[in-house]
Chain A
Amino acid sequence: MNWGLFIPELYYLAVCGILLLLSMGAKPNPRRDLVTVLFFAALGVVVSLASVRLEGTLFAAAYRVDLFSQVFKVLLALGLLLTVSLCTELRGIDEGHHLEFYLLLTTCTVAMMLLVSSVELLTIYVALELSSYSLYLLVPLRRGHDAAVEAGIKYLLVGTSASAVMLFGFACLYGVIHTTQVAEIVRVLPGMLGQPVATIGLLLALCGFFFKLAVFPFHFWAPGVYQGAANQVTAFIATASKAAAIAILMRIVALSGGGDAYLVKVLVTLSIASMTLGNLVAIRQKDLKRLLAYSTVAHAGYVLIGLLSFSPSGYASAIFYAFAYLVLKFTCFLVLVKVAADGSDLQIAQLAGLHRRSPLLAMALMVGVFGLAGIPPTVGFTGKLLLFTAAIRQGHLAIVFIAMINVVISLYYYLLVVKAAYLLEPDEDRPRIRLSAPMTLFLWVLVAVIVTAGVFPTYLLDLADAAARALLGV
Chain B
Amino acid sequence: MTLYALIFYVLAAVLVVATLAAVTRRNLVHAVVYLVISFFGTAMVYYLLGAPFLGILEVIIYAGAIMVLFLFIIMMLRVERKAEHRFSLGEWLPAAVLGLVFLALVGLLVLRDPGAGAALTAATVSPRVFGRFLFQRYWLAVEIVSFLLLIVLMGALFLGRAPGRRPTGGQEGGS
Contact = CB atoms under 8 A, between A and B. Distances in A.
Interface stretch (A44-52, A56-64, A249-257, A284-292): A56-64
A94 B161 CA distance: 14
B88 interface: no
A273 interface: no
A129 interface: yes
A96 B155 contact: no
A154 interface: no
B175 A100 contact: yes
B113 A197 contact: yes
Nearest to B108: A196
A126 B141 contact: yes
A69 B115 CA distance: 35
B91 to A, nearest CB: 17
A195 interface: yes
A140 interface: yes
A197 B109 contact: yes
B159 A137 contact: yes
A100 B138 contact: no
Given A23-B174, A123-B140, A200-B109, A195 B155 contact: no
A107 B174 CA distance: 18
Interface string A172-204: 000110000000000000000001110010000
Interface stretch (B39-47, B50-58, B93-101, B146-154): B146-154
A62 B167 contact: no
A259 B19 CA distance: 40
B151 A137 contact: yes
Contact of B141 (A97, A100, A123, A136): A123
A445 interface: no
A197 B167 contact: no
B173 interface: yes
Which residue, A59, A175, A196, has most C-beta atoms of chain B within 10 A?
Answer: A196
Contact of B144 (A96, A114, A140, A176): A114
A261 interface: no
A355 B158 CA distance: 41
A250 B69 CA distance: 38
Interface string A112-129: 001000000011001101
Size range of the chain B interface in the assembly: 20 to 34
Contact of A140 (B116, B151, B159): B159
A94 B167 contact: yes
B24 to A, nearest CB: 19
Contacts of A129: 148
> Number of contact residues on A: which range applies?
35 or more
Interface string A382-418: 0000000000000000000000000000000000000
A129 B152 CA distance: 11
Contacts of B116: 197
B145 interface: yes
B151 to A, nearest CB: 5
Nearest to B172: A96
Nearest to B170: A27
B141 to A, nearest CB: 5
B104 to A, nearest CB: 13
B169 interface: yes
A126 B143 CA distance: 10
A94 B114 contact: no
Interface in B113-164: 113-116, 136-141, 144-145, 147-148, 151-152, 154-155, 158-159
Contacts of A20: 154
A26 B171 CA distance: 8
A130 B151 contact: yes
Contacts of B158: 97, 100
Contacts of B109: 196-197, 200
B79 interface: no
Interface string A194-232: 011100100000000000000000000000000000000
A136 B169 CA distance: 26
A165 B49 CA distance: 23
A133 B147 CA distance: 11
B73 to A, nearest CB: 14
B81 interface: no
Given A126-B144, A130-B144, A26 B113 contact: no
A88 interface: no
Contacts of B136: 60
20 contacts: A16-B147, A20-B154, A23-B174, A24-B175, A27-B170, A60-B138, A94-B166, A96-B166, A96-B167, A97-B158, A104-B151, A123-B144, A126-B141, A137-B151, A137-B152, A140-B159, A175-B115, A196-B110, A197-B109, A200-B109
The 3 residue pairs across chains A and B that have the minimum distance between CB atoms: A96-B167, A137-B155, A196-B109
